[in-house]
Amino acid sequence: MNGVHDLGGMHGFPDLGYEPDEPTFHHEWERRCFALNFAADSLGRWNLDMWRHAVERMDPVEYLTTSYYEHWLHAMETLLVEHGLLSPEELHARLAGDRAPATPSPGQPAALSAAQVEAALSHGEPAARDVERPVRFRPGDRVHTANLHPEGHTRLPRYARAKQGIVRDDRGVHLFPDRRAAGEHDAAERLYNVEFSARELWGNAAPPRDTVRLDLWESYLESA
Amino acid sequence: MATDDYRHAAPSLTDPELRVRALQSLLTEKGLVDPAALDAIIDVFETRVGPHNGARVVARAWSDAAFRQRLLRDATAAIAELGFEGSQGEHMTVVENTPEVHNMVVCTLCSCYPWPTLGLPPVWYKSPSYRSRAVADPRGVLAEFGVRLPEEVEVRVWDSSAEMRYLVLPRRPPGTEGMSEEALAALVTRDAMIGVAPARTPDAE
């Protein structure tokens, strides 16, 4: 979606806010929020692309004026409610101070146990898929990115749409976020690493030799 | 839609601490979350992963030419030789700085970052400032880190738009001949492996 999260090339945010020796988490709630997200994701009701899209669906002003882990909190609350694991009423009530305990629902997924954490983190979630797909582009091919403006999730940033580039590498077949975020958990396409000159992206004031590389799925690309 | 009703009717959402406590208690009571698992997750990310891992990869690449070749050919497998693998490091690519090319890594769309080798990203990497500027004005960002490169050097910015995760192999500093891997690793900073700074020189310590 053409959301405010798609920040590449925007002006107006000069201050990096570099903090030397910053801690991993600045507040206890951030630590808890990070861990809760991981545990909630492991319930298997949504995939990573749906999670990222939930962040993108935040109100744009809230997105820019809240801290990073507040984005994580928003995504988790949104997905828990949308996938029926928590009701808005339960959450309201608890926030309002209602201490009546909640109870498990029949058919709900099992919690990730402490014993499962190590294996889950070591294995991760590989995105590569060992499936046969024709190879449409080869390294050295000139390509043109599509002028896509989906309302749903995409990983083709606005700054790289309708631009000419050169394929530099074939990454193999990977899970495809645009369709996964819509619920097609196994959607996959061939992924390519594509080089764009800085001048192609930003105009002739850009340094002549600089480049930007993006990993782009086949349906984002046309032959040039 | 249910989530819209929830957003408009909820009590003030300005306190994330209250919201996190409410979620944790609800999810625990419902048996959807095990608090012991939360502690295990936090432990991994606060103590086990971090830039010290990536620094060891870089130090080995500087010290062992065969390892460096394996790292550049199949970074995921080479990094796994040192025991670093898994979540947000499933598909690694190491990009080598040379006299001709300086690499820099960003995720303009969110905050993608190679967790097993670098840990969780710093706030500045996830900021609108870095995300907006790294692709469009990398030399301006580098200048803030004290790095100025001639125009003949290609500044190559890798935007992490898929699950490939990038680690910069910085140039080995002068005056480090004969140093042990452990001593070399101490010169390799997180910022060098993101590509916004050079590795430290021995006399800088």
Neighboring chain A residues of B26 at a CB cutoff of 8 Å: 86, 90-91, 94, 102
Closest CA to A37 of A5, A66, A67, A80: A80
Nearest chain A residue to B83, by CA: A122
Closest CA to B108 of B80, B89, B127, B84: B127
pLDDT in tens, A52-104: 999 999 999 999 999 999 999 999 999 999 999 999 999 989 988 888 899 89
* Residue B8 confidence (pLDDT) above 60: no
Inter-chain touch A156–B27, beta carbons under 8 Å: no
Confidence of residue B11 (pLDDT cuts 50, 70, 90): very low
| Whether B127 is catalytic | no
Neighboring chain A residues of B155 at a CB cutoff of 8 Å: 198, 207, 209-211
Round to whole Å and give the CA distance between A179 and A135. 20
| Mean confidence (pLDDT) of chain B | 93
* Residue A203 confidence (pLDDT) above 80: yes
B119: left (phi over 0), alpha (psi -120 to 50) or beta: left
Closest CA to B111 of A56, A149, A201: A56
* Residue B10 confidence (pLDDT) above 50: no
pLDDT in tens, B145-169: 999 999 999 999 999 999 999 999 9
Q: Copy the structure tokens of residue B117.
A: 């080798």
Inter-chain touch B128–A64, beta carbons under 8 Å: yes
pTM: 0.96
| Whether B63 is catalytic | no
Q: How high is the pLDDT of residue B14?
A: 52
Neighboring chain A residues of B104 at a CB cutoff of 8 Å: none
Q: How far is A2 from chain B (nearest CA, A)?
A: 11
Inter-chain touch A88–B111, beta carbons under 8 Å: no
| Mean confidence (pLDDT) of chain A | 96
pLDDT in tens, B167-179: 999 999 999 999 9
Inter-chain touch B109–A159, beta carbons under 8 Å: no
Q: How high is the pLDDT of residue B189?
A: 98
